[in-house]
Amino acid sequence: MYNILSEKELYIMELKTFINSYRTEHNLTMEQFAKSASLSKGYISMLEKGYNPQTGKKIIPSISALNNIAIATGTDLDHLLKIIDDIEVSLDSPAQDLIISNPQEAQLIIGYRNLTTANQKELLAYLDMKLNMQTK
């Protein structure tokens, strides 16, 4: 678990520093981190810069995006919000922006995305079968 909390102090930092430090410590590319957080590489880049280079406006992440970052870093949303300094959070979230509630869900999504199309179809058929058995 990525934990900047010690028993005596709480290290406060900006979100861009948190993400960049985590990536550096874990030897992850921006693309690898983005994939593990179920976010786009471009979005992670903007978070690390702190602004949108096309508009020059500050990036204000959604709760969902922060939750995905927390899960990807092995921490929880509450801890992340405690260590991020003066963060603005958008409570608006697009309908397709799902919150991943635990590492197992993240693992399933990442695993699914890494499968071939044929294996994705096979996995979905298996899931349907298991769901049908469960409801009987």
- pLDDT tens, 22-77? 999 999 999 999 999 999 999 999 999 988 888 888 888 888 889 999 999 998 88
Any domain includes 128 = no
Confidence of residue 86 (pLDDT cuts 50, 70, 90): low
Please count the structural domains in the chain.
1
Whether 57 contacts 26, CB under 8 Å: no
Q: What is the C-alpha to C-alpha distance for residues 65 and 101, in angstroms, rounded to an integer?
A: 12
pLDDT tens per residue, range 108-119 = 877 888 889 899
Structural domain containing residue 81: 15-101
CATH of the domain at 75: 1.10.260.40
Chain mean pLDDT for the chain:
80
Q: Kindly report the pTM of this predicted structure.
A: 0.59
pLDDT of residue 88: 66
